[in-house]
Chain A
């Protein structure tokens, strides 16, 4: 995409290598990510897009045998996201993620969006209500679910579930939001809606 008016740097990969055990999956990636911009990664399947993306919120730390080399600098505080001294939970608190397949929790729509806030210790009903409405509006799904917030999220359609997952990620105001092919499991109409949504964000 084109970049106008000196955008601020939000994150930067520097000589990033990544290994699944012995297998080297990412080789020397250098790449800037700008604040308030959409940066899109394209490439054939298996080329490492997901692996790269999942390095940003340290998802690889959940599984044994994975290893990072190099740095991902995160601004404005210039933290190295990959440093062993940085707690992956802190990283995930700041960087949200939406996955390839919609993965709502088998709970109510309300609780799905509330979860990120509850994890942060927010239990005040009024604050939760407000933030949940805001997040659902942000994910362009509020009008469809406002009358049935207590329904199970699994009763929603695939496209709605994915927008719910976006709302779940938005609710905690992440500084950076990672999308891992969020429309690959969806039909063209739902895909269009989500692509439009990403532009609006």
Chain B
């Protein structure tokens, strides 16, 4: 083959660069389109709901009059349900992920479990709702409580937690594990001092992504029978509930509740258009909750990863 002349080389580079430019423009266009849609959605909700976004909106219960209705029981309910979800899903998911990565032998049983965990993440959420209605509400007798909702959503995000735990563990180089085992550590010591701490940023990211998904779930919560109109809060521990009866530390978990998406759904289904303003305002609040959860995830990941270098 003849060596190329300078002109040929230059025209080759020019052709390559033209493609570069086209791809770059396409990328910017797609990115811009995505961002634009999000901004329009959030902006629209903000503009329409603006007049209701004041302190009163956060401290008022639901009401028949749109102008007086607020999201107090909904945001408190959402936070408490998330608390139960996190407390149930994190230990279970992390333990399952650590077991599968560090302890389980590779054979056809673990292969089947692996495939099914990935499949579980794709199960429609209403199916989890039906499952919990049968198990938690009726069989265990937890009723239509915060506990039931929290456990239902925990099941929903469990696959996400397990998968992110496993991926975080796989990112730890084998030489770290070997270094730990070489001084005579047991598997558990290796997990306790190395694997779990180093996987923590990845695990936390998965947990928060899971919680952000769970906080927006409506279908399974409706299925288990959350209330749509509620004008009281779960009992605060150690305060007086009625004459001479004070609430126990965990009484709130058995309390009826509502959550943000249900409140929004309820308002959009009312005939009075005034409620649509409330729905838009509540939708904006829910967006802010989800975005701030993601922000926390990014911050924690950044902060924890700073010290972990191989």
Contacts and interface: CB of A to CB of B under 8 A. Distances in A.
Contacts of B178: 59, 62, 99, 103
B310 A106 contact: yes
Interface string A89-118: 110110011010101111000000001101
Contacts of A93: 183-184
B310 A92 contact: no
The size class of the interface chain B forms with chain A is 20 to 34
**Interface-central residue, B181, B183, B307, by most chain A CB under 10 Å:** B183
B48 interface: no
A11 interface: no
Interface in B149-199: 173, 175-186, 189, 193-194, 198
B106 interface: yes
Interface string A113-155: 0011011100000000000000000000000000000001010
A92 B175 contact: no
Contact of B179 (A90, A103, A118): A103
A46 interface: no
Interface stretch (A17-25, A74-82, A165-173): A165-173
Given A106-B310, A119-B189, A154-B309, A92 B198 contact: no
B184 A172 contact: yes
Nearest to B174: A62
Nearest to B190: A119
A48 to B, nearest CB: 18
10 contacts: A89-B186, A96-B183, A97-B182, A103-B176, A105-B193, A106-B198, A106-B310, A116-B183, A116-B184, A152-B307
Across chains A and B, which 8 residue pairs bring their CB atoms closest together, nearest first? A93-B184, A116-B183, A103-B175, A154-B309, A92-B184, A97-B182, A103-B179, A106-B308
Given A154-B310, A169-B182, 6 more contacts: A89-B186, A92-B183, A99-B178, A105-B194, A106-B176, A116-B184
